Each structure stands twice: as C-alpha cells, then as structure tokens.
Amino acid sequence: AQSVTQLDSQVPVFEEAPVELRCNYSSSVSVYLFWYVQYPNQGLQLLLKYLSGSTLVESINGFEAEFNKSQTSFHLRKPSVHISDTAEYFCAVTKITGNQFYFGTGTSLTVIP
C-alpha cells in the first residue's frame, strides 16, 4: 500500500522569505509523486509532478520539488513566497499503473505581510 506523510500541518512564513513543505512517502512499488494546491473554496490544482528523469521539477509560479528516492521524500520549496501563495498544499502519490491518488493530510501555508 502507499501512504504519504506531511509532518507540518501549518507553516507560517513572512512574505519574501523561503519556505519548505515536507513530504515523505511509503510504497513497495514505483510511484509518481505530485503536489496539489487548494485555494480557499476552490478545487485541487496540480502544482507539479515527478514522473521520471530529472529529480528536480519546477512549477510555473516558482515552486520546485526534489525527488529523493533514498529518503523517500518529495519536499516542496520556494525561495521567496508571496501573499498569493497562501493556501493548503497536498502531497500525493500514485502507483505508475494505478488510478487513485493517496494524499497526505495537507500543509496550510500562511504568508504573513
């Protein structure tokens, strides 16, 4: 079975400061890794994903995540956050031949002016 752990339920950070949201996963088979973002009263939006190849993946709005197989981690980082980054962030995994996502419990990122 697959599982995802997001240890930080809430992360407050000042505007323009760097941030890291941690994600660790457990799986006995190969997986794909994803980060989704959920803004208030909206659905989940795909932020970025790791499928294969380069272990560092980037989103269009400055976030990046690095797949670390030995540490079974997929931490999300941004060097300088904006107020508009305030949202709930979910890490998820899926088997490469699977259909369902296994989500972590989410990390609430609050950017403080």
Would you tell me which residues interact with another protein (CB under 8 A)?
4, 6, 9, 32, 34, 36, 41-46, 49, 51, 90, 92, 94-106
Q: Which residue has the tokens 């031949």?
A: 97
Residue pair 101/32 in contact by the 8 Å Cβ criterion: no
Measured from the CB of residue 80, what is the shortest distance to another protein in angstroms? 26
Report the distance separating Cα 41 and Cα 73, nearest Å.
29
Q: Are strands 3-5 and 19-21 parallel, antiparallel or unpaired?
A: unpaired
Measured from the CB of residue 89, what is the shortest distance to another protein in angstroms? 10
Measured from the CB of residue 106, what is the shortest distance to another protein in angstroms? 5
Instruction: Closer to another protein by CB, 15 or 44: give it.
Output: 44
